[in-house]
Amino acid sequence: MTNYPHPLIAKEGWPFIAIAFSVALLVHYFAGFFWALFFWIVAVFVLQFFRDPPREVPMMSNAVLSPADGRIVAVEKVEDPYLKREAIKVSVFMNVFNVHSNRSPIDGEVRDKWYFPGKFVNADLPKASLENERNALWIKADNGEDVTCVQVAGLIAKRILCHALPGDHLSRGQRFGFIRFGSRVDVYLPPGTKINVNIGDKVHATTTVLAEFRELQ
C-alpha cells in the first residue's frame, strides 16, 4: 500500500465537490445569486467536510496516535470483540465539522481486516460500536503489541472507505481511510497501556497522543 499524498482536499470528496459547485454555478447563472445562495452554502460545506490537511507525526516511538479528529466519548475496559481479549477501548466521535480522514495510530502490519454491515444509529451512542456498519483492522505493532482500529458509521454516514489490506505495513499517521458524513473510530489497546485522554477531550488525528505503550520490545 502506497502512502496517500495529502492534497488538502481528500480524493474521496472530489466527485461530491464537483457536483455541489456545478449545481451552485448553474442555479446562479440561470436564477441569480439570491436563489443560488443556499446551493453555494451547501457547496462550501461539502468542500470543508472533505478537507484533508497534512499532519506532523510526534517523535515518541511508543506513542499511540489519534486515528481521527473529534471528541473522546469512551475510555473503558472491555473485551475486544475482534481479537477476543481484554482491552482498553478509546473512542473518538467525529461530527460533520471534523476532518474525516482516518490515519494509522501506530507503526505496524495489518494482520487482518473485517467488514460488518449494520445500522446507522448515532455514532455518539455506546451501542454504535457493535451495531453500526463498521470496518475493523487488526494491526500488529512493530513492538509486538496488538491494536484493533475500527471505523464505525454514524447516523448519516453511509460509506466507510478503507484502503488498507492484510499484509500492508502502516506508519504512524499514514492515511488509510475515510468515513463520509459523521462517524466514530474505536481503538482497542492492550491492558496496561497508559491512556493520555479523558472523556470529552478534543483530539486531532496524528498530532494527539491518545496513549503510550508500557514498553518497547
Rounded to whole angstroms, how far apart are CA atoms 22 and 175?
28
Sign of the Cα torsion 22, 23, 27, 33 reads negative
DSSP assignments along the chain, one per residue: -PPPP--EE-GGGHHHHHHHHHHHHHHHHHH-HHHHHHHHHHHHHHHHHTEE---PPP--TTEEE-SSSEEEEEEEEEEETTTTEEEEEEEEEE-TTS--EEE-SSSEEEEEEEEE--B---TTSTTHHHHB-EEEEEEEETTS-EEEEEEEE-SS---EEE---TT-EEPTT-EEEEESSSEEEEEEE-TTPEE---TT-EE-TTTSEEEE-S---
- Active site residues per annotation: 183
